[in-house]
Amino acid sequence: MAVVASVSGLNVAQPQLATTFEASQGQVLWIINTYTLTLAALLLPGGAAGDRLGRKRVLTAGLVVFGVANVAAAVAPVTEVMVAARLLSGVGAAMVMPVTLSVITSTFPDAERSRAIGTWTAVAGGGGILGMYLSALLVDVASWRWLFALPVALTAAALLIGARAVPESRERLPGRFDLPGALTAVVATVGFTLALHEAPSRGWDDSLVVAALVAAVLATLGFVGWELRTPSPLLDVRHFRSRGLSSGTTLLLVLFGVQGGVALVLYPYCQVVLGWSGLLSTVAMMPLAVLMMIASGVAPGVARRVGPRTTMVLGLALATTGLALLAALVSPDGGYLGVLPGLAAMGAGAGLAMTPSTEAITSSLPREQQGVASAINDLTRELGAALGVALLGGLLVAGYQDAIAGRLDGVPAALAAAAGEGIARADAVSRTAGAHAEVIRDATRDAFVAAWQDAMWVGVAVMAVLVVVVLVRGPRSTRIAESAGERR
């Protein structure tokens, strides 16, 4: 929860960060995104290190690094120290995140493993939203520096519990650590993550975005080519032929992408259309998080009765229904009750689908590579969320600009142009627009809802295709693969 919550926690404190450090918007974004980039880049090497060096040892070291870095961030006097602390936090998080799951998959007996993975999935799925809520609360009642109290407290608790409860486990793997594979994986991950984060604001034709994508594609090709040749690969890419790994990663990539898109549209809807505060807007996401956590705990029992593939399909169908409800019931005047049924259905469906998907991924790789399997699971979630924000965010912006173009007749050109840039800009313009304020506000709300609906229907179509993919390629059984040659 500490690792996941730290991904989104600082988003609620952007104005305070800019004021404290006298930082530009670009510097603020680097403070926030440095952690995400570092975490994503080092997940695969971190998971592999846990397999080789000892999972408890790497987990403990990662927790110490993560805790110290968060303390440093809390007291950072200047921007440079803050960015360095966030980078160090990402290093610690990349050691912690994959090992938390590989400890479960490598030590729990078969009868308990599904339930343990369900608990892990519930915390990983809901931790980000719960962390954002607590972060928003701390910013409102105290200071942004208190945001780091939550991860520090959770880290301390994890260290104390882990010292007693987590057994040491490591694998005797042949050959040396795959350094070329790790380096190309880092370049590919940073490239894709950076491009997906920057594309919504810069545009896909921006030189930085294009360069990042080119580097990512070349590094990916290099990674695949090397992994197919080296005798001791970081990740044997042939494992992706298995049903469990291919269907599980695809499901999580799309599902987290759609969830990222929903969060992207829900916050401005609550803040601008409904006029809610940032804290109350975060509370609006809680039904999705809570039902996701509950459904993740129920999913192992359902999978035992009907099988993992059927459970994944049921969850996806419910989540798709939730997206359709978000598209069909939202309106400028309908209020929060218009989106609540869709959020509830999506949260329950996501929780039901994620647990068997995570188990399908981890059980597709042999025991000695559980750290890598866990890292694949985590990396898929990170890239999926970034992909959803980039693509659905682009659809939202384009749809908004198309929809508002014909709704500002009679508004001066300068005001209309500013309002057409986005809903936040339109809201700011309307406050000083005098007699045109009401027209701009109404046009903004109508255009945003129209763009919301278009983006959600695209999400419904993508999810419907995913249901078919899982039906065809979903895992056949729940039994853990016992060797690298066994495929789902």
Q: Which of 21-35, 153-167, 404-418, 443-457 shows the highest mean pLDDT?
A: 153-167
pLDDT at 381 over 70: yes
Residue 487 has pLDDT above 80, yes or no: no
What structural domains and CATH numbers belong to the chain? 1-178 (1.20.1250.20), 238-476 (1.20.1250.20)
CA 234 to chain centre: 23
CA 202, CA 197: separation in Å to the nearest integer?
A: 9
Whether the pLDDT of residue 418 is over 90: the answer is no
Q: To the nearest whole number, what is the mean pLDDT of the chain?
A: 84
Residue bearing the bigger pLDDT, 175 or 73: 73
- Residue 477's pLDDT band, with cuts at 50, 70 and 90, is low
Which comes out higher in pLDDT, residue 373 or 24?
373
pLDDT at 120: 87
Res 315: pLDDT: 94
* pLDDT level of residue 322 (50, 70, 90 thresholds): very high
Percentage of residues in the chain having pLDDT higher than 70: 95
Query: pLDDT of 148-160, one tens digit each?
Result: 888 899 999 999 9
Overall average pLDDT of the 361-376 stretch: 83
Q: pLDDT digit string (tens) for 56-97? A: 999 999 999 999 999 999 999 999 999 999 999 999 999 999
Residue 470 reports pLDDT greater than 70: yes
pLDDT reported for residue 261 = 82
Question: Do residues 267 and 14 make contact, with C-beta atoms less than 8 angstroms apart?
Answer: no
**In which band, very low, low, confident or very high, does the pLDDT at 293 lie, cut at 50, 70 and 90?**
confident
Other beta carbons within 10 Å of 84: 16
> Which tokens is 146 given?
């208190």
Within a 10 A sphere around the Cβ of 208, how many other Cβ atoms? 12
Ranking 82-96, 224-238, 335-349 by mean pLDDT, the lowest is: 224-238
pLDDT at 443 over 90: no
What is the pLDDT, as a whole number, of residue 478?
46
pLDDT at 37 over 70: yes
The per-residue pLDDT for 201 is: 67
Asked if residue 248 lies in contact with residue 308, where contact means CB atoms within 8 angstroms, the answer is no
**Of 42-51, 67-76, 164-173, where does the model show the most confidence?**
67-76
CA distance 369 to 50: 9
For the full predicted model, state whether its pTM sits above 0.75.
yes
Is the CB of residue 54 less than 8 Å from the CB of residue 170? yes
Average pLDDT over residues 1-5: 84
Q: Which residues of 347-379 are buried (b: 16+ CB within 10 A; e: fewer)?
A: bbbbbbbbbbbbbbbbbbbbbbbbbbbbbbbbb
Q: Report the candidate in 93, 109, 117 with the shortest Cα–Cα distance to residue 45.
A: 93
Answer whether residue 479 shows pLDDT above 60. no
What is the rounded CA–CA span in Å between residue 478 and residue 301?
A: 12
15 three-state secondary structure: helix
Which pLDDT score, from 0 to 100, does residue 25 have?
Answer: 62
